[in-house]
Amino acid sequence: METKIHLRDGDIPRQWYNLAADLAHEPLPPLGPDGCPISPESLLKVFPAKLIEQEVSPERWIDIPEGVLELLLRFRPTPLVRARHLEQALGTPARIYYKNESVSPAGSHKPNTAMAQAWYNKQQGVERLCTETGAGQWGCALALSCALLGLECKVFMVRVSFEQKPARKTMMQAYGATCLPSPSTETAAGRAVLAEHPDTPGSLGIAISEAVEAAVSDASGRTRYALGSVLNHVMLHQTIIGLEAKKQLAMLGEKVDVIIACAGGGSNFAGLAFPFAADKASGADLEIIPVEPLSCPTLTRGLFTYDYGDIAGLTPMLPMYSLGRDFVPDPIHAGGLRYHGMSPLVSQGVIEGLFSPLALPQTECFRAALLFSRTEGLLVAPETSHAVAAVIRKAEQAKQEGREKVILFNLSGHGMMDLHGYDAFLNGSLVDHEIGEEQLAAALAKLATHPPARF
């Protein structure tokens, strides 16, 4: 059996898949400050019209424009790889496959939506995009996409990641973007946080507030905001991952049993899992696992309710699992997973029983990543290490049960710019963080005044 399964350029999917069409309940609408559903038109200062259409679309399939396909063909289709050496090291009867999204120019899955969002903004005449980034993968992807399309790009990078991962800032600057540590003094939201917490490590919720403020405050109307996760149109663009994987598994005659991906805001998880979730919704026997950090257990210990996506309350309120918009997670090295909320579609998938979330400590994840690197040869991002750790758990379970299983996971990014985290683990200074009961109760109590999310 082959180890690497490649598709030809002509096999790239021509449509994105929208999970909203196959959920048991119609997705709940976002709410405005008055607690009423917002109109799509109210988002025009933030997003281009075509992305707003995708955000609220009930259609199952949405065509990918040729201009977006031309951009994606710079690195897609990506290979499906069998992790034979990891299997051998574990002595498992399971067959382990991974979709290698680290082969993109930015080193992660993020260009799948960055290129699409930049293209749609360019078509509408936008000249500048503002965004936030945690670990820097999204910021690099948007910086790349803006460079390819001749757009300006400003990125607010969560402070702890800005300090831990300086190479990400350099990469964004190499693509022509401006990268600032968040919270910054450039926005009212950033200044407010710094006044109260001058030593804050920052959070994605804070950085989102800064990026949205920077976009909507541009009086010229030439600036828009781009988001790398959480929203429906972002999940949509990422489904090209799972759609390709389905074709590749079919070429091998394999039927997948377990699907795993890390989950922060939900983008790479949705990208791999949503096309398979459609099968599960139709009765297929599948286990689909989003893996999050124990220090930021949004899906496993959060509350499903309406909450803001940012700390300043500039975004609409979304129906999602949340730990509260002002929750600042511990400064773990998986910066892309330090988000207080979760994609509404991923959240609803958990509610409806399509997904079974799992929270893991970072030391277990780094151990798993080192085993993967010493068998398969790839150093994965700290975010991806959560998926690898869950894969190892499932492979060992298959060994104990003496059952053959096909496990598929998303290798969402490489770790070549995350060596500081690996160094901390190797020298013994990396420790686990777990949110305490009192801290959790205090965080969730602040959500009590928000509108409940009920289907």
Amino acid sitting at position 433? H
Residue with tokens 């999917």: 13
Helical spans, DSSP H, in 218-358: 232-238, 240-252, 267-281, 298-301, 344-351
**Structural domains in the chain plus CATH codes:** 15-65+110-230 (3.40.50.1100), 66-107+233-445 (3.40.50.1100)
pLDDT, position 270: 98
How far apart are the C-alpha atoms of 253 and 97, rounded to whole Å? 13
pLDDT, position 418: 86
Per-residue model confidence as pLDDT tens digits over 144-185 = 999 999 999 999 999 988 988 889 999 999 999 999 999 999
Number of other CB atoms surrounding residue 55 within 10 Å: 18
> Within the chain, which residues score under 70 in pLDDT?
1-2, 332-335
How far apart are the C-alpha atoms of 242 and 109, rounded to whole Å? 12
Find out whether 169 and 157 touch, Cβ atoms under 8 Å: yes
Residue with tokens 């949110």: 435
pTM listed for this prediction:
0.94
pLDDT, position 385: 97
Of residues 364, 373, 360, the one with CA closest to residue 419: 373
pLDDT, position 433: 85
pLDDT, position 332: 66
